[in-house]
Amino acid sequence: MEGLSGMLKEVVSKGFFRGIRVGHNGPTLSHFLYADDAVFLGEWNMTNAVNLKRILRVFHAVSGLKVNLNKCRVFGTKVDDGEVWGIARILHSWDKVTAPVGKGGLGLGSLSVANLALLAKGWWRFKQEKNGLWRKVVWAIHHTKTGESPLKDRFPLLFKLERIKGCKVGDRLVIFERELCGVWSWHRKLVSADKINEFRQLLILCSGVNVGYGIDRLIWALDGSNDFSVNSIKKCVGEWCYPDTTWVFGWNNWIPKKVCVLAWRVGLECVASLAELAKRNIVFELVLCLLCGEVDETVVHIFTSCGFAQDVWQILAL
């Protein structure tokens, strides 16, 4: 941890990372180090976030101690949630791997999304398997009487006027000429203002009811089969969590997976070429291509424009 502290002091002194100054003439705070935790403080800008990520990467390379970004938290003062999310995405590039294939990612999936989908599956089974022992146990432990009350308790005046106390909603709401109509059976007409007011509230409540034939059942709208599936909710949440991208890699099942992954990394320019390493402040004497020695070793040059690469492609085409 002393090595990390020394690195941060050096980059702050050279202006690569801007900390927070206390008062007009006070010291500049950039980090606090504890036994196994660290807190970094700095100005809220993209340059600070990118350079901090580079510092942590170099620290991992020289010490072997890797920061677990899954346990990190980003906090901003006087900034909205969108900006916090943007900085978090810079520090944590794992989103490129977990993003769906349709969003330009590798499609491995996120554990948080999978956990949400499995929780939704438990909720679906709770609604469907009403005779299951596990459902009865959960209901007995957690059920309270604070939920919605029966209609007879919500509309007591109308319930007193009802002739058949044990009737169902389907007995009073029928479809006539494709319209929902009420078939009421009162002891007497609704005269008082209280009864008329309750009846209006009941009509408002019934306006959103869809009455059909057969047994009532839940339908899962995210899947064409109308049955719940973990994959459908993972796909839905994934589409919502990850932003759209203009570049989507075309995967080919005929090619080995490791070759496809390499091509995907090339498309994102995530291959550690000399030019890309130089952008991360990893200094080399020369960044020229080691094969041809003519131009800088960029990702595009390695795989397309380099004479050696073109010879390889020519051999493969024969």
Q: Where are the domains of the chain?
A: 2-92, 271-317
183-217: b or e for each residue (b if 16 or more CB lie within 10 Å)? eeeeeeebeeeebeebbeebeeeeeeeeeeeeeee
User: What pLDDT does residue 131 have?
Assistant: 87
User: What pLDDT does residue 144 have?
Assistant: 62
User: pLDDT tens digits for 224-264?
Assistant: 777 888 888 888 877 777 767 777 778 888 888 888 888 88
User: What pLDDT does residue 38 have?
Assistant: 84
Give DSSP secondary structure letters for the chain: -HHHHHHHHHHHHTTSS--EE-TTTSPEE-EEE-SS-EEE---SSHHHHHHHHHHHHHHHHHH-----GGG-----SS--HHHHHHHHHHH-TTHHHHS-GGGTS-----HHHHHHHHHHHHHHHHHH-TT-HHHHHHHHHH--S-SPPPHHHHSHHHHHHBS-TT--HHHHEEEETTEEEE---BSS---SHHHHHHHHHHHHHHTT----SS------TTSTTSS--HHHHHHHHHHHHSPP-S------TTS-HHHHHHHHHHHTT-S--HHHHHHTT---S--B-TTT-SSB--HHIIIIISHHHHHHHHHHH-
Q: Residue ranges of the chain with pLDDT lower than 70?
A: 1, 69-70, 89-95, 144-148, 208-214, 243, 280-281, 318
User: What pLDDT does residue 63 have?
Assistant: 78
User: What pLDDT does residue 219 have?
Assistant: 80
User: pLDDT tens digits for 51-89?
Assistant: 888 888 788 777 777 777 667 778 888 888 777 777 776
User: What pLDDT does residue 240 have?
Assistant: 77
- Tokens 């020519």 sit on residue: 314
